[in-house]
Amino acid sequence: MTEIKALYADMQKFFQPLWPGEDKPLVFGEGNAMQPPLMLIGEAPGETEVIKRRPFVGKAGKNLDEFLTLVGMNREDIFISNVVKIRPCEIGPTGRTRNRAPNKEELSLFTPWLMKEIAIIRPKVLVTLGNVPLKALCGPKITIGDCHGTFLKTEGGTPLFALYHPASIIYRRELKTVYQADVLTLKEALFRNNDI
């Protein structure tokens, strides 16, 4: 078994008994697990991701395609994962299940596993999407508004590039050009290689 598969098997064993009677399947990372140029880290899977048991395949998958086109890479070139690996959800006023932000308990349960995942994958650059993965890796004080489009150092030493979450662009259209400019900054840095 590869190291990453062994980690995911350990996670399965750890999380299975935590929420008895609740259906909370884990959605693991996927892609190039051998020191990829980029490891993309989102917040948590949504409904489609849980159905397909794959990260970033729902609406967010379309945004991911746009990211890949801008940066000039294929999905198979990079590793894609989330901080929280279950779908955080709640029942809305209409009685339908809807996504919610991960809570403190979920974040503190999953973040140590994300650290182990990063240590196994050993990407050249970590790319966080939005505040949740950024804060998980750099601490609660930092915000995406302050540091998007820049490189930060993580505790493990891997450079981290902060991007807005693509979903936030849907609510704040003015962020679209900012997001695209940030992705191009990342692309140039990857090509130049020396200022990362």
* Residues within the interface to ligand URA (CB under 6 A): 42-46, 49, 55-56, 58, 60, 82, 129
Closest approach of ligand URA to the CB of residue 116, in Å: 19
For residue 161, the minimal CB distance to ligand URA (Å) is 16
Phi, psi (rounded to 5 degrees) for 17? -80, -5
CB 39 within 8 A of CB 114: no
Which residue lies nearer to ligand URA by CB, 46 or 123? 46
Is 26 in contact with 117 (CB distance < 8 Å)? no
Q: What DSSP letter does each residue of 11-60 carry, written as one string?
A: HHHHHTTTSTTS-------EE--SS-SEEEEES---HHHHHHT-SS-SHH
How far apart are CB 54 and ligand URA at their closest, in Å? Answer: 8
Give 36 or 45: the residue with its C-beta nearer to ligand URA. 45
CB of 195 to ligand URA, least distance (A): 27
CB of 17 to ligand URA, least distance (A): 24
Q: Which is nearer to ligand URA, 28 or 158 (CB)?
A: 28
What is the closest distance, in whole angstroms, from the C-beta atom of residue 134 to ligand URA in the complex? 12
Nearer to ligand URA, 7 or 60 (CB): 60
- State residue 27 phi and psi, 5-degree precision: -110, 110
> For residues 56 and 110, which CB has a smaller minimum distance to ligand URA in the complex?
56
132-142 as b/e: b if 16+ CB within 10 A: bbbbbbbeeee
The CA distance from 94 to 117, in Å, is: 37
The whole-angstrom separation of Cα 18 and Cα 81 is 21
Question: Nearest residue by C-beta to ligand URA?
Answer: 42
What span, in angstroms and rounded, lies between the C-alpha atoms of 19 and 85?
Answer: 14
Nearest residue (CB) to ligand URA, 102 versus 125: 102
